[in-house]
Protein backbone atom coordinates (compact mmCIF):
# COMPACT_ATOMS: atom_id res chain seq x y z
CA UNK A 1 0.00 0.00 0.00
CA UNK A 2 1.29 3.47 -0.87
CA UNK A 3 0.35 6.75 0.74
CA UNK A 4 -1.47 5.35 3.77
CA UNK A 5 -0.29 5.71 7.32
CA UNK A 6 0.69 2.55 9.20
CA UNK A 7 -2.38 3.04 11.42
CA UNK A 8 -4.69 3.25 8.39
CA UNK A 9 -3.11 0.14 6.90
CA UNK A 10 -3.60 -1.82 10.16
CA UNK A 11 -7.23 -0.69 10.43
CA UNK A 12 -7.93 -1.59 6.82
CA UNK A 13 -6.35 -5.03 7.14
CA UNK A 14 -8.28 -5.66 10.36
CA UNK A 15 -11.53 -4.72 8.62
CA UNK A 16 -10.75 -7.03 5.70
CA UNK A 17 -9.83 -9.88 8.05
CA UNK A 18 -13.09 -9.45 9.94
CA UNK A 19 -15.25 -9.58 6.81
CA UNK A 20 -13.24 -12.25 5.01
CA UNK A 21 -13.47 -14.50 8.06
CA UNK A 22 -17.23 -14.05 8.06
CA UNK A 23 -17.38 -14.83 4.34
CA UNK A 24 -19.20 -11.58 3.58
CA UNK A 25 -16.76 -9.98 1.16
CA UNK A 26 -16.80 -10.75 -2.52
CA UNK A 27 -14.35 -8.93 -4.72
CA UNK A 28 -15.53 -8.49 -8.29
CA UNK A 29 -13.40 -6.96 -11.01
CA UNK A 30 -14.44 -3.61 -12.41
CA UNK A 31 -15.54 -4.41 -15.96
CA UNK A 32 -16.76 -0.96 -16.91
CA UNK A 33 -15.14 1.07 -19.63
CA UNK A 34 -13.30 4.11 -18.28
CA UNK A 35 -11.98 6.86 -20.51
CA UNK A 36 -8.43 5.49 -20.08
CA UNK A 37 -9.50 1.94 -20.95
CA UNK A 38 -11.41 3.24 -23.98
CA UNK A 39 -8.34 5.21 -25.09
CA UNK A 40 -6.11 2.16 -24.64
CA UNK A 41 -8.53 0.04 -26.66
CA UNK A 42 -8.83 2.59 -29.45
CA UNK A 43 -5.05 2.87 -29.74
CA UNK A 44 -4.74 -0.88 -30.38
CA UNK A 45 -7.51 -1.11 -32.97
CA UNK A 46 -6.81 -1.47 -36.67
CA UNK A 47 -7.98 1.61 -38.63
CA UNK A 48 -11.08 -0.11 -40.05
CA UNK A 49 -12.20 -1.25 -36.60
CA UNK A 50 -11.61 2.20 -35.12
CA UNK A 51 -13.65 3.64 -38.00
CA UNK A 52 -16.46 1.18 -37.22
CA UNK A 53 -16.45 2.32 -33.59
CA UNK A 54 -16.49 5.98 -34.64
CA UNK A 55 -19.46 5.33 -36.98
CA UNK A 56 -21.44 3.80 -34.11
CA UNK A 57 -20.56 6.76 -31.87
CA UNK A 58 -21.65 9.26 -34.52
CA UNK A 59 -25.06 7.58 -34.50
CA UNK A 60 -25.36 8.02 -30.72
CA UNK A 61 -24.66 4.35 -30.15
CA UNK A 62 -27.43 3.00 -32.43
CA UNK A 63 -25.99 2.55 -35.92
CA UNK A 64 -27.99 0.71 -38.59
CA UNK A 65 -26.08 -2.31 -39.81
CA UNK A 66 -26.96 -1.70 -43.47
CA UNK A 67 -25.51 1.81 -43.30
CA UNK A 68 -22.40 0.51 -41.55
CA UNK A 69 -21.94 -2.17 -44.21
CA UNK A 70 -22.13 0.51 -46.91
CA UNK A 71 -19.73 2.80 -45.06
CA UNK A 72 -17.30 -0.02 -44.27
CA UNK A 73 -17.38 -1.67 -47.69
CA UNK A 74 -19.48 -4.76 -47.03
CA UNK A 75 -18.94 -7.43 -44.43
CA UNK A 76 -18.59 -6.37 -40.79
CA UNK A 77 -17.33 -9.68 -39.37
CA UNK A 78 -13.71 -8.61 -39.74
CA UNK A 79 -14.12 -5.43 -37.75
CA UNK A 80 -16.27 -6.97 -35.04
CA UNK A 81 -13.84 -9.88 -34.77
CA UNK A 82 -10.85 -7.58 -34.45
CA UNK A 83 -12.69 -5.64 -31.72
CA UNK A 84 -13.09 -8.86 -29.77
CA UNK A 85 -9.44 -9.74 -30.32
CA UNK A 86 -8.33 -6.30 -29.12
CA UNK A 87 -10.36 -6.71 -25.93
CA UNK A 88 -8.80 -10.14 -25.34
CA UNK A 89 -5.34 -8.69 -26.00
CA UNK A 90 -6.01 -5.97 -23.39
CA UNK A 91 -6.79 -8.68 -20.83
CA UNK A 92 -3.50 -10.45 -21.62
CA UNK A 93 -1.60 -7.16 -21.32
CA UNK A 94 -3.25 -6.37 -18.00
CA UNK A 95 -5.03 -3.24 -19.28
CA UNK A 96 -8.37 -4.46 -17.90
CA UNK A 97 -9.72 -7.57 -16.21
CA UNK A 98 -11.11 -10.73 -17.74
CA UNK A 99 -14.79 -10.33 -18.55
CA UNK A 100 -14.68 -6.87 -20.13
CA UNK A 101 -17.70 -6.58 -22.39
CA UNK A 102 -17.45 -5.33 -25.92
CA UNK A 103 -18.46 -1.67 -26.03
CA UNK A 104 -20.52 -2.47 -29.15
CA UNK A 105 -23.13 -5.20 -29.23
CA UNK A 106 -25.25 -6.48 -32.06
CA UNK A 107 -29.03 -6.13 -32.22
CA UNK A 108 -30.76 -8.66 -34.44
CA UNK A 109 -34.10 -6.90 -34.24
CA UNK A 110 -37.38 -8.77 -34.18
CA UNK A 111 -36.12 -11.70 -36.26
CA UNK A 112 -33.12 -12.99 -34.29
CA UNK A 113 -33.26 -16.36 -36.10
CA UNK A 114 -32.43 -14.59 -39.33
CA UNK A 115 -29.00 -13.83 -37.74
CA UNK A 116 -28.30 -10.77 -39.82
CA UNK A 117 -27.55 -7.77 -37.66
CA UNK A 118 -30.11 -4.99 -37.77
CA UNK A 119 -28.00 -2.50 -35.85
CA UNK A 120 -24.96 -2.14 -33.64
CA UNK A 121 -25.53 -0.53 -30.27
CA UNK A 122 -23.66 0.93 -27.32
CA UNK A 123 -24.93 1.75 -23.86
CA UNK A 124 -25.40 5.47 -23.15
CA UNK A 125 -22.58 5.25 -20.58
CA UNK A 126 -20.19 3.72 -23.12
CA UNK A 127 -21.17 6.32 -25.72
CA UNK A 128 -20.19 9.08 -23.29
CA UNK A 129 -16.95 7.34 -22.29
CA UNK A 130 -15.83 6.47 -25.81
CA UNK A 131 -16.74 9.91 -27.16
CA UNK A 132 -14.42 11.45 -24.60
CA UNK A 133 -11.68 8.93 -25.44
CA UNK A 134 -12.04 9.28 -29.23
CA UNK A 135 -12.71 13.00 -29.36
CA UNK A 136 -10.03 13.60 -31.98
CA UNK A 137 -11.45 10.91 -34.29
CA UNK A 138 -15.06 12.11 -34.27
CA UNK A 139 -14.79 15.18 -36.49
Quick one: pLDDT at residue 17? 80
For a pLDDT cut of 70, what percent of the chain falls above it?
A: 90
pTM of this structure = 0.76
The average confidence (pLDDT) of the chain is 88
DSSP code, position 46? -
Instruction: Indicate whether 11 pLDDT > 90.
Output: no
Using CA atoms, how far residue 29 sits from 33, 76, 97, 100, 113, in Å, is: 12, 30, 6, 9, 33
pLDDT band at 37 (very low <50, low <70, confident <90, very high): very high
**Alpha carbon of residue 14 to chain centroid:** 35
Dist CA 93 CA 111 (whole Å)? 38
Quick one: pLDDT at residue 86? 96
Instruction: Indicate whether 98 pLDDT > 80.
Output: yes
Using CA atoms, how far residue 134 sits from 19, 39, 78, 84, 104, in Å, is: 41, 7, 21, 18, 14
Amino acid sequence: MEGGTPEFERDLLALLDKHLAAGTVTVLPDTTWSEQRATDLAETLPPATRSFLVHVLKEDGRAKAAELRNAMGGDLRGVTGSLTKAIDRGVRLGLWPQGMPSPVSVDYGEKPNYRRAERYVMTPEDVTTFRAALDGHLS
